Chain A
Amino acid sequence: MAPTVIPFGPQHPVLPEPLHLQITVVDEVVTEVLPKLGFVHRGLENLVLKRDIHQMVQVVERVCGICSCIHAHTYCMALEELMDVQVPPRANYLRVIWGELHRIHSHLLWLGLLADAFGFESLFMQCWKIREKIMDVQEATSGNRVIVSVNVVGGVRRELTPDQCTWILEILEEVEKDILEIKQVFIDDFSVQKRTRGVGILSREDAYESGAVGPTLRGSGVAQDVRQSGYGAYADLDFQPVTETDGDSYSRAKVRFREVLQSIDLVRQAISKLPQGESRVKVKGWPEGETISRTEQPRGELMYYIRADGTKHLERMRIRTPTFANIPGMLKMLPGVDLANIPVAVLSIDPCISCTER
């Protein structure tokens, strides 16, 4: 049969974000894929020329709605290094707590979307129902459900009271119980495995070679996670990257599923070790020089390159988001996939086009 070219996106029933793929299929099997981006490009990197370094915290939080807090954490870490600011230990722990809550809600959102992609509507609703509990925690502790605006250069501008910490631990216990209940379905159910096992295989070599990051990389057996570097308070917490070795959509789902449980554990550890004292220091002056800052977002490694010239505006801010790094891996995994499984394979990298287009 002659090759047929099929446009996938930018509007697609399964994919809620505007990514366009020009997919060539032969006998309903993918042979070639070309990406096209730019449907929602915002040029946020260029706003550094118009907003001062403190206003930019609010801008970078809006690079991605799902992991707003971690974007701001990464940006603040970079500026704190340039300005030689020592963040109080309590602030580092609070940043980890909000960051891991973000990871839990992001992964639950994705697990629900994956269930929706392969037509398991009740599982989709269960995942999002559990996620709501985390959203409630975020709203109660930061004032917002999604844009968790807590980071500032020099620490955090919100506090967690002992009562709030106790309440968070209670909620996490409920969430953990709920997660373990749906584990039997998500991990063991035949129908889930039927739609995800062997779909979109990315070998360990291809994953590393293509620059993949996060669960996409770890689902192919590479144990790399920026949290291993010990930024924030991670150096004081017991942490090992979650890996799976099959490299298919099922492996990537299992990595995220296990990471939800791991994040619950990390929040518990951080709360149990939460130091007393200040959570913010005053920052004076403007940054000068250049630096690179990296953190682990729910989708993988996030990198900021920042150059400053001693004025209130940065000279350049470059953001490399995890989805941008995972697109080459996605292009590698798609050839050989059946047409009907394309949405599952594309979704398996957890694409965030909002981040990618910044």
Chain B
Amino acid sequence: MIERIKRSELMSRVWEMKNMGYRLVTMSSVDNGEDIEYIYHFDKDLDMVNFAISVPHGENPESISGIYGSALLVENEIQDHFGVSFTGLALDFNGAFFLEDEVHRAPFCAMSIKRLESNAEGGE
């Protein structure tokens, strides 16, 4: 149901979805401990296509907001909740989309990590 793909294949697969006329439903993310899994959900005429990549903690995943503009909201949400930073994010709220600037925890991570370098002093 959810295909696991290599991280290097992500952009080409997302472009493929775009060119085939699929709508981005949303992204989901799961903290697996060693890594964070990002699941991409697409739909066309009620037919869903789902694939996922795994990215180790501490590494930044690539944003797909350059391909699907609507991804910027969910990617900002994931940044807030999982303490990650997407590279190439079209509109980056720097971890303060859902959370306030003074919040230093990533609440959805099993092990909380600091979100931003500038927050390092108060980070947990």
Contact = CB atoms under 8 A, between A and B. Distances in A.
A100 interface: no
B70 to A, nearest CB: 4
A36 to B, nearest CB: 7
Given A38-B100, A357-B98, A292 B45 contact: no
Given A43-B107, A46-B108, A305-B39, A211 B46 contact: no
A327 B97 CA distance: 13
A325 B42 CA distance: 13
B-side interface mostly:
mixed
A246 interface: no
Interface residues on B, range: 20 to 34
B70 A292 contact: no
B25 A328 contact: no
A43 B23 CA distance: 27
B98 A41 contact: yes
Nearest to B39: A305
Contact of A36 (B26, B45, B70, B97): B97
A94 B74 CA distance: 34
Interface residues of A, number: 34
A315 interface: yes
Contact of A290 (B2, B45, B91, B107): B2
A224 interface: yes
B98 A290 contact: no
Nearest to A217: B23
A324 B46 contact: no
Interface in A282-327: 290-292, 294, 301, 303, 305, 307, 315-316, 318, 320, 324-325, 327
A17 to B, nearest CB: 15
Contacts of A327: 73
Given A292-B41, A305-B28, 18 more contacts: A35-B73, A38-B99, A41-B99, A43-B108, A46-B108, A210-B69, A211-B68, A224-B45, A228-B46, A229-B46, A292-B1, A292-B2, A303-B25, A303-B26, A305-B41, A315-B30, A320-B28, A320-B74
Interface of A: 34-38, 41, 43, 45-46, 208-211, 224, 226, 228-229, 290-292, 294, 301, 303, 305, 307, 315-316, 318, 320, 324-325, 327-328, 357
